[in-house]
Amino acid sequence: MSESRASAAPSEASQDNAEPEEQIQPVVAVILAAGLGVRFDENNPKQLVQVGGKPIITWSIDAFQSNARVTDILVVVNDRVRESVEAIVGADTYDKVRMVIQGGVERMDSTEAALQTLADAEIPQDAKLLIHDAVRPFVSQESINGCIDALDTFNAATVAVASSDTMLIAGDLGERKVVRQVPDRDNMFRAQTPQAFRFGTLRKAYDLAAADPDFHPTDDTRVVVDHLPEEPVAIVAGSVTNMKITLPSDVPMAEWIAGSLAG
């Protein structure tokens, strides 16, 4: 499978089959798998690590492939994992995967690559995008559907879980970090993915962010919050099982979750 697989705009086939007076709105999942995972094992890309009998990225692709409301999937990769990912999605099982494209050095670069690819495919401005970390393999259908539903009212939304811990905002005092502020825990959430946006909203935020070379966000919600501050971002309920696999020590917990999902 290669980038040339998507010769038409996402969901074009679905739109052709719709009733003339009814337009099928694309719901595109963008799965980010271009990270190098240096905190995991630079010689063993975590996207391809086996958990519950299959590669981590396969769990993520499966979650969106099986959702009836998701019309298209775009997978963003790096050179090291590209061949393996193309082999995975080359199976007939993944008929929603339109393209596997090259990502960038940072997460922001990978999202920008996806946005440009979708723009080139002439995706509608009001299309719904769900940006998901490939190494969050256990995203629930409730969270995916919650994001899709939230975009009926908002132009941006993110999956998040309420913090059960008291959060501390720190600052520097000499060589030591010290507590500067203790925010109200009722308003503290831990961000997860997917993070969802109307295409035009996220594209506008990224266009504005491009003017700031020192801006290096760790997720897409911050791009909207910082550069479109008037645009509210809805919170969609996440789950503690929607973990991000970052370190080798995360794998045993991931195996336990995979086993529990298998029954």
123: confidence class by pLDDT, cuts 50, 70, 90: very high
43: confidence class by pLDDT, cuts 50, 70, 90: confident
Rg (CA), the chain: 19
Residue 173 has pLDDT above 50, yes or no: yes
Greater pLDDT, 40 or 16: 40
Mean pLDDT of 84-88: 95
Total-model pTM: 0.88
- What is the rounded distance in angstroms from the CA atom of residue 71 to the CA atom of residue 50? 27
Q: Domain 3-262 in CATH: superfamily? A: Spore Coat Polysaccharide Biosynthesis Protein SpsA; Chain A (3.90.550.10)
Mean residue pLDDT across the chain: 90
In this structure, which amino acid lies at residue 240? V
- What is the rounded distance in angstroms from the CA atom of residue 150 to the CA atom of residue 155? 8
